[in-house]
Amino acid sequence: MTIITKITTQQKNTDRFNIFMDDGTGEKYAFSIDSDTLIKFQLKKGMELDDFSLMEIQYQDDIRKAYNLAIHYLARRMRSEKEVRDYLLQKEAAEPAIDEVIHKLSAQKYVNDQEFAFAFVRTQVNTTDKGPDLIKLELKEKGISPEIFMQALADFTKEKQIEKAVKMAQKALNKTSKDSWKIQKQKLEQLLLRKGYTFDVIQIAIEENEVEKEDDTEFEAIRFQGNKLLKKFSGYSGYEFEQRVKQALYRKGFSIEFIERFLSESKKS
């Protein structure tokens, strides 16, 4: 048996108490607990504790510390169960204590993966350009089950996806107006794929932005690209010069018709 010889309040945290005990070899510091654990076990000077009681007190205090950490973590924003578990593991909380904390938080509705998933999807749809595949991947990483994330993603309707993808396409095309239409479409497809949109939505977004490309607009692009190539290959002449320019413009997505037209124009100037 060990006897509690002294209980003192910690200087830096007045909600925690240092417990000193004597197991027959003299008084020494044993452990610290918070006020709730102190009250729950009615600890006081002169009280005798066996090994089982000591283990139970320590275990309950571990739960309290982990719970307080979790509440502080949740105060910043909603979290998934996995996020809370990972955070507590990072803080070196014991897994049995973490299980108890998660059970308590779930009962108190502080942790609810279904509510979290729906809120997460709403936030991503309203504040980012992410498509459903990217949002789905992030939910998986946060430990949300397929059944739940599919329910949550149902709110991100195809109409909303198309609306967002079309706007992104319009913005992106303004930055690539000096490229051929073929290259613009390739860049747009790659962008929307990275953002997590599906192929069918991407094709609709491209078609919505594929206004009749006027010859003058495409020719402005080939003139911009072509003039740079004329300077680049100025060290060549005759057939080799023309072939190098042709090949380079073709790789940039311009049609043979426009390439021939550009070369004809450049010879006249």
Specify if 74 maps to a domain. Answer: no
Kind and range of the H or E element at 134?
helix 132-141
246 and 204 together in one domain: no
- Which whole number is the average pLDDT over 35-55? 91
- Residue closest to 85 by CA, chosen among 69, 64, 109: 69
Confidence of residue 212 (pLDDT cuts 50, 70, 90): very low
Q: Please give the Cα distance from 24 to 207 (Å, whole number).
A: 85
Q: Please give the Cα distance from 14 to 31 (Å, whole number).
A: 15
b/e per residue, 132-163, with b = 16+ CB within 10 A? bbbbbebbeebbbeeebbeebbeebeeeebbe
What does the pLDDT look like over 167-207, one tens digit per residue?
Answer: 998 888 776 567 787 888 888 999 999 999 999 999 999 88
Per-residue pLDDT at 24: 86
Per-residue pLDDT at 64: 92
Give the domain CATH number at 254.
1.10.10
Specify if 99 maps to a domain. Answer: no
- Which whole number is the average pLDDT over 16-41? 90
- Residue closest to 128 by CA, chosen among 96, 164, 153, 152: 164
Specify if 43 maps to a domain. Answer: no
196 and 236 together in one domain: no
Which amino acid is residue 96, in one-letter code? P
Q: How many domains does the chain have?
A: 3
What does the pLDDT look like over 111-133, one tens digit per residue?
Answer: 999 999 999 999 999 999 999 99
Range with lowest mean pLDDT among 164-178, 201-215, 225-239: 201-215
b/e per residue, 190-206, with b = 16+ CB within 10 A? ebbeebbbbeebbebbb
Per-residue pLDDT at 208: 82
Question: Can you name the residues that pair with 27 across neighbouring β-strands?
Answer: 22
pLDDT at 241 over 90: no
- The token duo for 172 is 């992106």
Specify if 12 maps to a domain. Answer: no
Kind and range of the H or E element at 123?
helix 113-127
- Which whole number is the average pLDDT over 195-222? 80
Confidence of residue 216 (pLDDT cuts 50, 70, 90): low
b/e per residue, 14-45, with b = 16+ CB within 10 A? eebbebbbeeeeeeeebeebbeebbeebebee
pLDDT at 95 over 70: yes
- The token duo for 153 is 């993603």
SS3 category, 104: helix
pLDDT at 234 over 90: no
Give the domain CATH number at 126.
1.10.10.10
pLDDT at 223 over 90: no
Question: In 10 A of CB 223, how many CB atoms?
Answer: 16
- Which whole number is the average pLDDT over 157-170? 93
SS3 category, 116: helix
Q: Give the relative orientation of helices 146-153 and 113-127 as an angle to the nearest 10 degrees.
A: 40
* pTM exceeding 0.85: no
Mean pLDDT of the chain: 89
Per-residue pLDDT at 113: 97
- Which whole number is the average pLDDT over 82-102? 96
124 and 148 together in one domain: yes
**What is the full DSSP assignment across 225-258?**
HHHHHHHHTTT--HHHHHHHHHHHHHHTT--HHH
Count of residues making up the chain:
269
Range of the domain at 134: 113-153
